[in-house]
Amino acid sequence: MKDSITTVLYNRQMAPGYYCMGIAAPGYPQLARPGQFVMVRVNQSYDPLLRRPFGIFRTGTEELSHSEMESQDYMEVVYKVVGRGTRLMSHLVAGDEVGLLGPLGQGFCISPDAGGAMRDAVLVGGGIGVVPLFMLAQQLVARGVKVHLLLGGRNCGDILALAEFERLGVKTSIATDDGTLGEKCFVTQLLQATLQKFPAVQVFACGPTPMLHAVQQICAAAGAELQVSLEATMACGVGACLGCVVEGRNHSEQQPEYLCTCKQGPVFDAHELAWTQEALGPVLTPAEDSL
């Protein structure tokens, strides 16, 4: 975990409203685990004051032939412009400075089941929720796990990083609300169909809270193991302010069991959480964005 001021390497538009930013990030290729996140400080001014949380899309090391430095570690953030902070981010160019705190939080847990076997994996991404799934897919594939990716969005513009997943050899199914790409349905319907065919899988999901609720119900009914990556408003990202909590499974007013999304999450085993309507906090990403 490090806090540094570092440089933007590139900042490319991927699709209308979506950007991919490469940031110099020494050590990240070794340190960062799938599902972890970073807190980005867009600039050093007091407005916006707080850092913004972003999933780590991928990390890597670039060989630099014409420079004194031989290689450069980097990480990529894939983000959607939704407000002031992300708009300012979209204006940054190579060479600009940003504050980078991370890698933070608990990522996805990749482990064999009780019998010692690696189960096939189904990855469910809603809109920008695809971000933490890429590194996860990379590591699952590297371990020889069969990965099936289900992506959902309002329209084809919300379906990101398809080419990257295809290069990994991951089988991908797509659902859009308007049918402009893949099937015209919800991604949760794809999940339901997949679990009917292959019940003995592990599911990993990231997306808007209403989608996660639906995914949890489908997985619980099918008896599939589920890990989810949650969103919450954050200030510190390190477990100090208690601004990002969700209700743990045994939570009650008398015996509060709050979990910090930033520190104990953002990835949780579905069994750790209470799945009442209020338990995961308010819906941050509007529901019409990619169920």
Residues that bind other proteins (CB under 8 A): 1, 3, 41, 46-51, 99, 101, 232-236, 238-246, 253, 255-256, 258, 263, 278, 281-282
Q: Please name the amino acid found at residue 169.
A: G
The answer to whether residues 73 and 54 touch, using CB atoms and an 8 Å cutoff, is no
| CB nearer to other proteins: pick between 82 and 162 | 82
Per-residue burial over 254-291, b if 16 or more Cβ lie within 10 Å, else e, is eeeeebbbbbbbbbbebebbbbeeebbbeeebeeebbb
By beta-carbon proximity to ligand FAD, the closer residue of 33 and 52 is 52
* 3-class SS of residue 67: coil
Select from 102, 153, 237, 266 the one that contacts ligand FES (CB under 6 A): 237
Q: At closest approach, how far in Å is the CB of 52 from ligand FAD?
A: 4
Q: Any contact of residue 233 with ligand FAD (CB under 6 A)?
A: yes
If one asks whether residue 14 binds ligand FAD (CB under 6 A), the answer comes out as no
Is 40 a binder of ligand FES (CB under 6 A)? no
Nearest to 150 by CA among 139, 164, 165: 165
Instruction: Report if residue 157 touches ligand FES, rule: CB under 6 A.
Output: no
Structure token digits, residue 32: 């960062």
**Is residue 50 near ligand FES by the rule CB under 6 A?**
no
How far is 94 from 105, CA to CA, in rounded Å?
27
In 3D space, the residue among 14, 12, 11, 10 whose CA is nearest the CA of residue 153 turns out to be 14
Q: How far apart are CA 118 and CA 2, in angstroms?
A: 32
- Work out whether 161 is an interface residue with ligand FAD (CB under 6 A): no
236 near ligand FES, rule: CB under 6 A? yes
Instruction: Give the closest residue to 159 by CA, choosing from 128, 132, 137.
Output: 128
Stretch that binds ligand FES, among 85-93, 98-106, 202-210, 237-245 (CB under 6 A): 237-245
Q: DSSP secondary-structure letter at 106? A: B
Candidate list 41, 52, 148, 213; residue touching ligand FAD; CB under 6 A: 52
Given the rule CB under 6 A, which residues bind ligand FES? 234-237, 239-244, 260-262
Given the rule CB under 6 A, which residues bind ligand FAD? 37, 48, 50, 52-55, 78-80, 82-86, 128, 131, 231-234, 266, 284-285
